Amino acid sequence: MTSPTSEDKAPSTRKIALASLVGTTIEWYDLFIYTTAAAVVFNLLFFPEFDPLMGTLIAFSTYATAYIARPVGAIVFGHIGDRAGRKKTLTLTLMIMGVATFAVGLLPTYGSIGVIAPILLIILRFLQGLGLGGEWGGAVLMAVEHAPLSKRGFFGSWVQMGVPAGVILANLVWLAVATLSEDDLLAWGWRIPFLLSVSLIIVGMWVRARVLETPTFEKQHEAAEDTKMPIVEVLRDYWGQVLLTAGAYFATGVVYTVLLAFGLTYGTVELGLSRSTMLLVIVITAAVNFLLLPFFGIISDRFNRKRVYLAGIAGMGVLSFPLFWLMNIGNFWSVLLGYVLIVIPFSAAYGPQSTLFAEIFRGRVRYSGLSIGYQLGAILGSALTPIATTALLAATGSATSVAWYMVGACIISLICAMGIQARPWKDESEDGRVELVTATEAGSAGKSR
């Protein structure tokens, strides 16, 4: 019996990549409806004893709770994913995330039960982060480990597309909810985005039940090459690459969180733009990002993936100040232009990021190594950014300080990304070891497609 060619596998790979996209879209929808709620209503509903700026800062602190949980989820579900399989783990993470999100929509507020309300909010936010900590790495591996060598960057970018897709979905729901009166929004309207997540979870579970386990895991499992403690092997053999991965992610986390969280608050509170105007800017920007990610995934397959990534990070640094110059003009079109300009280099970095990071680790510990590095970076880049930028604005009274913060993050990520040793694997051999691809082979594969 002849083995299937890349062309034979292509339809199956597209189906699996689509399943990863659907799943991550749902996960990021759950995350981003919370992000918007933290910026818009949670300061009033769960922290009403503080002035608006301080209440927003504390609300963003609960937003950060999920990022503290994400490395824990990366360790726990990375272990399960490397030992029991990628598919089973992704089903579990989606269920945890979905139940926690739905429960947020049922929470009583501070006005009903006092201080217990924000405590319950923090607990549910932690569970969201726990599920998300194991989600991203598994979704990446489902797409990349099924993909042919010459298209790994492209199919890996499908997982990244789940982020803007989740942003679009979440903000479209919030745009609809924003049409309610202020009283109705605070009384019951804010619950709608969270309660709607239950229908998405059902769809996601159905889609993921229909995909196959990855060839990488099946081969190493059949050859009894599984490692008993993936986290031990990662920390022993890959600790430097894990730290570099976290640092390389830093800038993408900072820039995207500035656009979604800080930018929303800055635009409405400081610039006087309406909430609907800022949400529309975010939706349009996310749509541009969604279209650009697979393009840069293809570019990374044809050219050097690491150089594409470095170019994206550098571009974000260059455009950090122009972002706020344009925002401070204070109208819809100037804000939109600032957002769209910076999302172009962001897409150049974020599109190939998943595949670049996956190529660092060997198959038997790839789920753990990939997830831990990414989620550590998420704490530095995504979790602390709303707190840091809000504090910087309060201390300086100017968004210039935030732009400098973004530039600093880009410099750190450039240094770390240059130190990453990504080695594309040609295939997973029968004993579970990775057959690495030489630079010549990788370039030839990219050009041949």
Residue with the bigger pLDDT between 19 and 196: it is: 196
Query: Where in the sequence is the domain holding 356, given as residue range(s)?
Result: 6-207+225-448
Residue 341: is it exposed, middle or buried by C-beta count within 10 angstroms (0-12/13-18/19+)?
Answer: middle
pLDDT per residue over 221-240, tens digit each? 555 556 667 778 888 888 88
Cα separation, 446 vs 305, in Å, equals 10
Terminal Cα distance for the chain, rounded: 26
Asked whether residue 397 is assigned to any structural domain, the reply reads: yes
Within 8 A by CB and 6+ apart from 84, the residues are: none
pLDDT per residue over 17-45, tens digit each? 777 788 788 878 887 788 778 767 777 78
User: Out of 180-194, 242-256, 341-355, which region has the weakest mean confidence (pLDDT)?
Assistant: 180-194
Residue 374: is it exposed, middle or buried by C-beta count within 10 angstroms (0-12/13-18/19+)?
Answer: buried
Query: Quick check: 321 pLDDT over 90?
Result: yes
Cα separation, 29 vs 193, in Å, equals 9
Asked whether residue 213 is assigned to any structural domain, the reply reads: no
Cα separation, 26 vs 194, in Å, equals 12
Count the helices and strands in the chain (H runs, E runs). 22, 2
- Helix or strand run (H / E) with residue 380: none
AA letter at 135? E
Give the pLDDT confidence score for residue 51 in this predicted structure: 56
Asked whether residue 131 is assigned to any structural domain, the reply reads: yes
Answer yes or no: are the C-beta atoms of 165 and 352 closer than 8 Å: no
CATH of the domain at 401: 1.20.1250.20
Give the pLDDT confidence score for residue 56 in this predicted structure: 61
Cβ of 221: how many Cβ atoms within 10 Å? 17
Cα separation, 186 vs 180, in Å, equals 9
Strand runs labelled E in 123-191: none
Q: Residue 103 has which token pair?
A: 């429960």
Query: Quick check: 290 pLDDT over 90?
Result: yes
Structure confidence at residue 171 as a pLDDT band (50, 70, 90): confident
Helix (H, G, I), strand (E, B) or coil at 238: coil
pLDDT per residue over 110-141, tens digit each? 888 887 888 888 888 888 888 888 888 888 88
Asked whether residue 187 is assigned to any structural domain, the reply reads: yes
pLDDT per residue over 38-95, tens digit each? 767 777 787 666 555 565 666 666 666 777 888 888 888 888 887 777 777 888 888 8
Asked whether residue 181 is assigned to any structural domain, the reply reads: yes
Cβ of 116: how many Cβ atoms within 10 Å? 12
| Cα-Cα-Cα-Cα dihedral sign, residues 376, 380, 386, 387 | positive
Beta-bridge partner residues of 434: 428
Asked whether residue 212 is assigned to any structural domain, the reply reads: no
DSSP letters for 258-296: IIIIIHHHIIIIIS---HHHHHHHHHHHHHHHHHHHHHH
Asked whether residue 168 is assigned to any structural domain, the reply reads: yes
Asked whether residue 217 is assigned to any structural domain, the reply reads: no
Q: Rounded to the nearest 5 degrees, what angle is found at the Cα of 328, between the Cα atoms of 326 and 331?
A: 80
Cα separation, 261 vs 61, in Å, equals 12
The number of distinct structural domains making up the chain is 1
Q: What percent of the chain has pLDDT over 70?
A: 84
Q: Residue 267 has which token pair?
A: 């635009």
